[in-house]
A and B are shown apart, each in its own frame.
Chain A
C-alpha cells in the first residue's frame, strides 16, 4: 500500500512494481509468470518472507497475471500507454 517502500523496474513497455514488505512469500507470481521473469530474492522482508524480484525485467510483457493473482497486493505492472512514467505514477 502507499505506506510501503516500492521497488520499480523498467520493463520493455512499462514498469513492474514490487512492495517487498507486503509479500507473504506464497510463490504464486514466481511459479506462474508466463515469461518466468521472477525469482525469489536472497534477502527476506520485515515479515521474514523472501519476496520476488525480476531476474530480467525486460522479459516482462506486463501481462498483469502476477498483479491479479497476488493475494497481498504486493506486485503489479503498468503498461506505458502514451502517458509519461511520472504522470502514470501520480495516477496509479
Chain B
C-alpha cells in the first residue's frame, strides 16, 4: 500500500539500554516461554505499565499465579511472586491479602486454573469480597499441556480432549464473577492493550474482589486447532468483532464463535471488603484491638510516592 519512496533509515545502534519497564521484570528470566503471537506477553506488558502508572513499587505488590502458561507470569515479574499449585492461587492470595492488608495482591492465572480446578475458590473469594485483583487470561483451552478442552471452550470448538468438538456449555466469566459478588468486572482482549491496562489500574485501585478477563490468542493450540490463524489473525478478528459496551449486563457476555466479542467495564460497585466486614462485625462490636497491618489496609499511592511515607508496615 505504501510505496517505499526511500530506504528505511538504519537507526543508531546503542548498547546497555534498558526497557522502560525492566525494573518490574526479572530480566535474567527473559525471553519468556510464550509463543510468538500469544497474548500473554501483552498482558504482562500491560500489567507492568499499570504498576508504573499507579506509582507502585516492587514492595507494594505481590503476584500469585497458578499452573499453566499464564501461571508463568509470576516468574517474570520482579516483585514478591508466588507460583502455587493448580487452581489454588486464589486461596493462597487470600492468606497473603489477610496477612498484609496494606499491600496489593494480584492473581494472574488462566481460564482452566481459575475456573475448572479453581472455580470453587474463585466464587468464595468473590463472595467474601477479599481484597485482591484477579486477572484471568482466557484463551479457551489448557494451553501449557497441549490444548485440552476447558471450562471456557466454546461449543463446537476442537481441543485435544474434544476431538469431535466440544459439546459442553462454557462459563460466561463476567457473569460468573458478577453473580459471585465481584465489585469490579471488566473484559478486554489483548488487542485493547491500552484499555486493558486502564482496567488493571481500576481493578487494582478498587478495594475488594476485582476481576479482569483478558481474552487472548493461543495460536499454537486453540487457534491452530480451530483454524483461527496466527495470533495476528486473532487480533484482527477481535478488531472486527469487538463491541465496547460499558455497563453491559454480564449475562450478555457469552463468547460464541463468529459472534461479537462484548468488552468493557461491566460492573463497578462498592461493598465492604472481607476485612472491613470483619472489622465492623467483630473488632468494632467486640471492642477488640485492630492489628496494625489492618490499619493501613488498601492504601494505593497514585502519585508515585514511595511505599514508606508515613505508613509503617506491621
Contact = CB atoms under 8 A, between A and B. Distances in A.
Interface residues of B, number: 46
Nearest to B17: A6
A65 to B, nearest CB: 7
B289 interface: no
Contacts of A5: 13-15
B27 interface: yes
A72 B13 contact: no
Candidate in A3, A25, A39, A72 with the most chain B CB atoms within 10 angstroms: A72
Contact of A72 (B15, B17, B31, B39): B31
Given A68-B193, A71-B42, A9 B9 contact: yes
With a 10 A CB-CB cut-off, give which of A18, A31, A49 has the most chain B CB atoms: A31
Interface string B27-53: 100111011111111101110010000
Interface residues of A, number: 39
B236 interface: yes
A8 B11 contact: yes
B235 A28 contact: yes
Nearest to B232: A27
A31 B44 CA distance: 20
Contact of A27 (B2, B25, B35, B230): B230
Contacts of B4: 55
A2 B28 CA distance: 10
Interface string A56-79: 010000000101111111001010
Contacts of A27: 37, 230-232
A36 interface: yes
A54 B6 CA distance: 12
A72 B42 CA distance: 8
Interface in A1-54: 1-3, 5-9, 17-19, 22, 24-28, 31-32, 36, 39, 41, 49, 53-54
Contact of A70 (B14, B35, B45): B45
Contacts of B22: 1-2, 73
A70 B42 contact: yes
Interface in B210-252: 230-232, 235-236, 239
Contacts of B30: 1, 22, 73
